[in-house]
Chains A and B, each alone.
Chain A
Amino acid sequence: MKHTSFFKTALTDIAEIFTEEIKHIFKDSGVIIIFFGAGILYPILYGFIYRNEVLRDIPIAVVNQSNSALSRDLVRKIDATPDLKVAYKANTMNEAKDLFAKNEVHGIVYIPASFSKDLCKGKQTHVFAYSNIATMLYFRGVYSAVNFVCLDFDEKIQVANLETKGLTVQQAKATATPILREGHPLYNSNSGFASFLLPAALILIIQQTLVIGIGMLAGTAREENKYHQLIPYQRKYHGTLRIVTGKALAYFIIYLFIGIYNLVLIPYMFQLPNYFTIGSALQFLVPFLLASVFFGMGISVFFWVRETSLLIYLCTSIPLLLISGFSWPASNIPIFWKMISYFFPSTFGIQGFLKMNSMGASISQINFECMGLCIEAGIYFIFTFFVYRWQIRQSEIRMR
């Protein structure tokens, strides 16, 4: 009998703290902006910004000093690539540089006067291309298109030369290209930029809004009660565990919806890779949210004034994105920063989400990330428990 009543009061306490916290959240306009404004609108904005996924028809200028049939054919082929568009045919290099300076073109292709003569004589010739590395995607486009077209020409010329020497077509081709190569992008197969960036951004949005929101709530709680305590001393709140569980439950349930929205609905809406179903999303989301909630609650004791969480924590967003290893390869992150990165749920979150949702890995394949999130959830739960208990003790002392 005694046991049932204990559980009953525990449950009613938790439920009470839970509803209290929900009320707090919905009364606070700042938290609403962060939780719902940022958590819901930001993904949509980013989705639209990167909607075009890939760059097509980057304008370039061509300086064709050879002006032969062959060189004109080369220019046509470059123009025909999906990456590049020959926007200007300049007569001199200076003219092309001028266009480049005005940002009218993002690359220059230069074909020297000796181009066709060299080829006829069987001499090696060069085609020069210049692009601006400050925008990596432009350089990438110019590089791959010019390279592709030149190598294609090389093979054709070579085969033609071999044929004149009396080889059959098949023999000539086999000599020119003894091994064929075929590349296959396995995931994100159209090399889309949104499909690469957005998944990581979505995870970060969930974590950052959650942590900032919790920090703001904690800051408000401190500002509003006399002794600047995180948890006001009240008779009915005995049992740190109940307070921690009750509050965590409130954040967790709200974010379950925001999480599903971000990780299932947004990828679906913007046609990003989406291997997730609601079921598999939950398998991943539960450990990730628990880790983020307790992480947020744990560090919220350091935020004395409500605005500080925003002020300080927001600035960590970009570095957190970098150390998660989604862009700069995880295998190349200095060991020190790798260690640091394991403190943040976003690191495992981004890796796990990319692997499951973008590459179709099963939950058992991301064992490492899941374990990381569970361990984090455990450690931050214990940490939160102790700092909350410490805070409650402090307020008890003050009350006396």
Chain B
Amino acid sequence: MRELRRFVSRPIYVLMTIILPLGFLLFYSTFLNEGYPEQLPLGVIDHDNSSLSRNIIRQIDATQQTKVAARYLHFTDARKDMQQGQIYAFIEIPGNLQKDVYSGLQPTIHYYYNQSFFVAGSLLLKDMEIMLNTICAGVNLNTRQLKGQGVEESMSQILPIVPEIHAIGNPYMNYSVYLSNILLPGMLQLMILMTIVYCIGIELKKSSSKIWLRDAGGSMFQAIVGKLLPYTIIFSCIGFFYEIFLFKFMHFPINSSLWWMILDTFLLVIATEGVAIVMIGIVPVLRDGLCFAGLYGILAFSYSGLIFPIEGMPAILQGLSYLFPLRFFFKIYQNVVLNDISPDFSMINYLIMLLYLLFPIVVWRRLHNALTRLDYPKK
């Protein structure tokens, strides 16, 4: 009850627990609303200027993913524009392309892409490969048809093995689905960490922790549970709102019941609270505890394994991943919710999530001392 009074008395709490989380939801849903980047700008250098080369450029421009933003006479000009970020890739068509093709000399088309802008560069690389393959197959098909082969027969000759590559879970290759599902819970855990550390730390700073303990009948367990209860409810509701918004309103792909996601979110909330208590327990000073929690919370994004898999990290740093509940949240989401694999396989992940609740025991004494001694460094 005491916490509730405090909660409504200071705007910072409302800001941290309600306004910021909703702001982030708004941000991610509007920022990534396109889902898949389209009409990426690329450049063309056409040394040939024949009907074939013009046809190639037209075909490239016609696709959804790319847009021919500029034409250049020289390689250097194109490279300079790439350095300035005007285009993310360019294609250089050699002189005599058409002539060489029809005399069977196999001319080479060179294409360049910028991997410093990883996402744009990689997408354009894929698009350019597909387009040039198609164009090449088209020329091949033409030749064969001139010789009197049928389309079906020709295709089975040109492409005897068709690679069919499927993405499990997110068939649309939608970046919003890919990013929002971890960035939003990530932001949530960051705000939980900061808020919990703040609300315990402020008691230490204002030297009111003795009163807090007394109100709880001297039991630290009761004191902490009482303090965290309102936050648990608020953050869980925010988390549930996130999930309902993403899966019901934005229609993100989900292959099992939404309840699994809700459970996962709830586990993330309580596990993160456990970690937050450890944080303030290790450094029982408000400002340092907040610094600590903040640095940890940001690091959790890397350790979720979403962007760069944990298995790709150096072995020593892989071990650290056990310290981050977000990692296991993501694993459960990936296995149970997205890929609809039976939760039996994820038992270990659920267990680890629950273990975070026991984590505060490590710092129990230390925190208790800090709460009763009131030796908060004033300066």
Contact = CB atoms under 8 A, between A and B. Distances in A.
Given A134-B306, A337-B31, A154 B164 contact: no
Q: Is the interface of B mostly helix, strand, loop or mixed?
A: helix
Contact of A126 (B105, B155, B164, B187): B164
A189 B115 CA distance: 7
A361 B84 contact: yes
Interface residues of A, number: 116
B106 A359 contact: no
Interface stretch (A87-95, A307-315, A389-397): A307-315
Interface string B159-173: 111111111111101
Given A122-B157, A186-B112, A129 B140 contact: no
Contact of A196 (B106, B115, B132): B115
A4 B126 CA distance: 66
A179 B109 CA distance: 7
A131 B168 contact: yes
B269 to A, nearest CB: 17
B308 interface: yes
A282 B335 CA distance: 48
Given A137-B309, A154-B158, A273-B116, A334 B30 contact: yes
Contacts, number: 339
Contact of B178 (A126, A133, A334): A133
Interface in B83-141: 83-85, 88, 97, 101, 104-122, 125-126, 128-129, 132-133, 135-136, 139-140
Q: Is the interface of A mostly helix, strand, loop or mixed?
A: helix
A13 B299 CA distance: 42
A400 interface: no
Interface string A356-374: 0011110001101000000
Nearest to B31: A337
Contacts of A366: 84
A147 B30 contact: no
B85 A48 contact: no
Interface string B322-363: 000000001101110011011001000000000000000000
A188 B119 CA distance: 12
Nearest to B165: A129
A34 B164 contact: no
Most B-side CB within 10 Å, residue of A147, A317, A332 = A332
A128 interface: yes
B148 interface: no
Given A119-B161, A174-B104, A318-B187, 10 more contacts: A34-B291, A51-B314, A129-B166, A154-B160, A179-B106, A180-B106, A191-B118, A307-B201, A312-B16, A314-B298
Interface of B: 12, 15-16, 20, 24, 27, 30-34, 37-41, 79-80, 82-85, 88, 97, 101, 104-122, 125-126, 128-129, 132-133, 135-136, 139-140, 143-144, 153, 155-171, 173, 175, 178, 183, 186-187, 190-191, 194, 198, 201, 286-288, 290-291, 294-295, 297-299, 301-302, 305-309, 311-314, 317, 330-331, 333-335, 338-339, 341-342, 345, 379
Interface of A: 27, 29-30, 33-34, 37-38, 42, 45-46, 48-52, 54-55, 74, 100-103, 119, 122-140, 142-144, 146-147, 150-151, 153-154, 157-158, 161, 170-171, 173-189, 191-193, 195-197, 199, 216, 273, 306-308, 310-312, 314-315, 317-319, 322-323, 326-334, 336-337, 351, 354-355, 358-361, 365-366, 368
9 contacts: A101-B342, A119-B161, A122-B160, A134-B306, A170-B104, A196-B115, A314-B194, A359-B82, A365-B83
